[in-house]
Amino acid sequence: MVNQINLELGCGNHVASGWVGMDKQSIPTVDIVHNLEDIPWPLPDSCVMHCRAVHVLEHVCPRSQIAVMNEIWRVMVPDGLFELNVPLAGSGPDYWNPEHCAHFTARSWELFDPRFEWYLSYKPKPWQIVDGYPIVSAEGAISVMLKAMKGVFDKK
């Protein structure tokens, strides 16, 4: 059994002390070399307390977004927190990188929260948008905090 960890997705050279870094690049700062879109990940169920993805999900193919979010949910402990940051669709940061293939608005996260109508259309693993989020910055970034809702709404 893996101890409960803090997981930094797409960490590159930026892994905070006490965090486990996962990235598709094999560089010294990466603990787990793995592409996020290759599911399942080499992690057991419910082993992550806090997950962070800073400017990562915009690099995931749009058709893989729900599967990747479901995989993050799988590795999270109940009520574990997923902190993410993505460019706002249509902003300068959204367009400057040609590897950005997915685009997000402040409402994109409603698809994963059972309190919103869009959830019923796709029925992904359930997350709750934490009060006060999403936050859209003047620079064109969206910050979101999600809580893994396990045992209440989840579908096997």
* CATH number for 73: 3.40.50.150
Q: What is the mean pLDDT of residues 31-37?
A: 97
Residue-wise pLDDT for 45-103, tens only, equals 999 999 999 999 999 999 999 999 999 999 999 999 999 999 999 998 888 888 999 99
Q: Please tell me the pTM assigned to this model.
A: 0.93
Residue 154 lies in a domain: no
Residue 156 lies in a domain: no
What integer best gives the mean pLDDT of the chain? 93
Total count of domains within the chain: 1
Q: What is the mean pLDDT of residues 124-136?
A: 96
Residue 83 lies in a domain: yes
Report the C-alpha gap between 59 and 103 in whole angstroms: 9
Residue 155 lies in a domain: no
Residue 78 is part of which domain span? 5-148
Residues in the chain: 156
Looking at the chain, the number of H-run helices and the number of E-run strands are 3, 8
User: How high is the pLDDT of residue 135?
Assistant: 97
In eight-state DSSP terms, residue 88 is B
